[in-house]
Amino acid sequence: MSRKAANDLQDLQYFGEYGGVNPSISDSSTYTFLSAKTMFDTFEGNTEGCYLYSRHSSPSNLYLGEALAALEGTESANVTASGMGAITAVILQLCNAGDHIVSSRTIYGGTYAFMKNFLKKFAIETSFVDITDMDAVARAITPKTKMIYCESVSNPLLEVADISALAKISHQQDIPLVVDNTFSPLTIRPVSLGADIVIHSLTKFINGTSDCVAGVVCGTTDFCLSLKDVNHGAGMLLGSTLDSQRAASILKNMRTLHIRIQKHSENALFLAQKFEADGLRVVYPGLPTHTGHLKMKEQMNPQYGFGGLLTLDVGSLEQANALMELMQDKKLGYLAVSLGFYKTLFSAPGSSTSSEIPIEEQKEMGLGDGLIRFSIGLDNDIQRTYEQMKDCMEQLGIIVDKITLRK
């Protein structure tokens, strides 16, 4: 399976309206019908290849969806206007009022807030569990549970989910395993490990240029069609529709994904190893000291490495902020949320992307306030980057120069 995802992407071929090598961008919100009968049939979902209205589907969105289905090895995929647009549509499609979700406790802050707070409106409850503890997952399931939800590599703590084991538990209960694979496109292909529905925030690595927000749901054709159903589809009715122009630009950026992921991973592994040798508290799935290292090795496509994210705990929020400001001054990257950009992005998740999670719960899951999340960039000379980052850390007393100490 190791090269399959990239090969499947490579094999996609397009012939635009005028024979262009890129598909033409559909510049219409609505589509004409030559007969009224065909319009009626299209509403009923019965006409293959007919477009009705761009919230339902558009040629550009279908092209991008095809590429993402090839990436994840699913029958079909629906693109959405954001990652949250994908997540909320899937959850509301699968759950009715009074239902229950079993979710990892280390997930994206927005997903956590949606489950914990927003779903109260529908009396849908979520049990947040340690996703690496299979007994805890199995114990949390009730007759009302409608899905197990996790991230393949979690945000921000980089916990690695055992997708095969989780799929086994969910299938014993006849419920789907939903996996957010935003942190590990190409590296992990959840469906090949038994997951049923795979979600991405395209905003991150897949688009890779930090110029738009977008998302996708990858799954069976039946499930993807159900999301688009004009009467009952959460995708169609909640209206999180991606614009065609953006779909076209994301599709173009996706073509370099395999090269970018390799470089992000190579650079992140280099820095993680150096930081660890310097005695820093670094978390990276590519380090043998990481609790999910072996699981990651078992599940990953080795040619794409261990991913572009690492965390560093520098002890306090003050130190974290000082280091991030200094690194930005030295042009080492941006003090910004998000991930997958060509420059390194760093932020302190406790006070930003995971601030929705109450402080006590952050502590319990190991999210200290001195934690910095790095999305490592495509730096050409990573040794130089390392030396400059080390200089910043020495300047702030985060790394105490061993040679100076010996003197």
Point out which residues bind ligand PLP (CB under 6 A). 82-84, 108, 110-111, 151, 155, 180, 182-183, 201, 203-204, 213, 215
Distance CA 327, CA 393 (A): 9
Specify the residue, 87 or 167, whose C-beta has the smaller distance to ligand PLP. Answer: 87
Least CB distance from residue 306 to ligand PLP, whole Å? 16
Q: How far is the CB of 168 from ligand PLP (least distance, A)?
A: 23
Q: In the complex with ligand PLP, which residue's Cβ is closer, 170 or 201?
A: 201
Nearer to ligand PLP, 104 or 145 (CB): 104
Q: Tell me the closest approach of the beta carbon of residue 204 to ligand PLP, in angstroms.
A: 6
Nearest-approach distance from CB 206 to ligand PLP, in angstroms = 10
Smallest gap from residue 111 Cβ to ligand PLP (A): 6
CB of 148: closest distance to ligand PLP in angstroms? 16
Would strands 177-180 and 145-151 be described as parallel, antiparallel, or unpaired?
parallel
Nearer residue to ligand PLP within complex by CB, 151 or 379? 151
Which DSSP symbol is given to 153? B
Instruction: Give min distance, CB of 110 to ligand PLP, in A.
Output: 5
CB of 214 to ligand PLP, least distance (A): 6
Q: Is 356 exposed, middle or buried (0-12, 13-18, 19+ CB in 10 A)?
A: middle
- Least separation in angstroms between CB 268 and ligand PLP: 16
For the beta sheet containing 309-313, the strands, ordered from the edge strand earlier in sequence to the opposite edge, are 281-283, 309-313, 371-375, 344-347, 333-335
- The helix-helix angle for 83-94 and 109-116 (nearest 10°) equals 30
Closer CB to ligand PLP, 25 or 213, in the complex: 213
Q: Which residue has the tokens 């899951």?
A: 365
Q: Residue 109 in contact with residue 355, Cβ under 8 Å? A: yes
Q: How far apart are CA 64 and CA 254, in angstroms?
A: 9
Q: What is the CA radius of gyration of the chain?
A: 22
What would the two tokens of residue 328 be?
A: 């930005």
Q: How far apart are CA 83 and CA 381, in angstroms?
A: 32
- How far apart (Å, rounded) are the C-alpha atoms in residues 265 and 285? 10
Cα(331)–Cα(185) distance, integer angstroms? 27
Give the CB-nearest residue to ligand PLP: 83
Per DSSP, 315 falls in state: S
Residue closer to ligand PLP (CB basis): 224 or 250? 250
CA distance 88 to 359: 24
250 or 314: CB nearest ligand PLP: 250
* Cα–Cα distance, 201 to 214 (Å, whole number): 6
Give strand pairing partners of 178: 149, 197
Answer whether 210's CB lies under 8 Å from 338's CB: yes
What's the closest the beta carbon of residue 74 comes to ligand PLP, in angstroms? 18
- The closest of 338, 89, 22 to 79, measured between CA atoms, is 89
CB closer to ligand PLP out of 80 and 319: 80
- Nearest CA to 57 out of 316, 262, 242 is that of 242
User: Looking at beta carbons only, is 183 or 386 nearer to ligand PLP?
Assistant: 183
Of the CA atoms within 13 Å of residue 386, those in its CB half-sphere come to: 16
Toward ligand PLP, which CB reaches closer, 170 or 375?
A: 375
Burial grade of 406 (CB within 10 A; 0-12, 13-18, 19 or more): exposed
Residue 234 Cβ vs ligand PLP, minimum distance, rounded to whole Å: 15
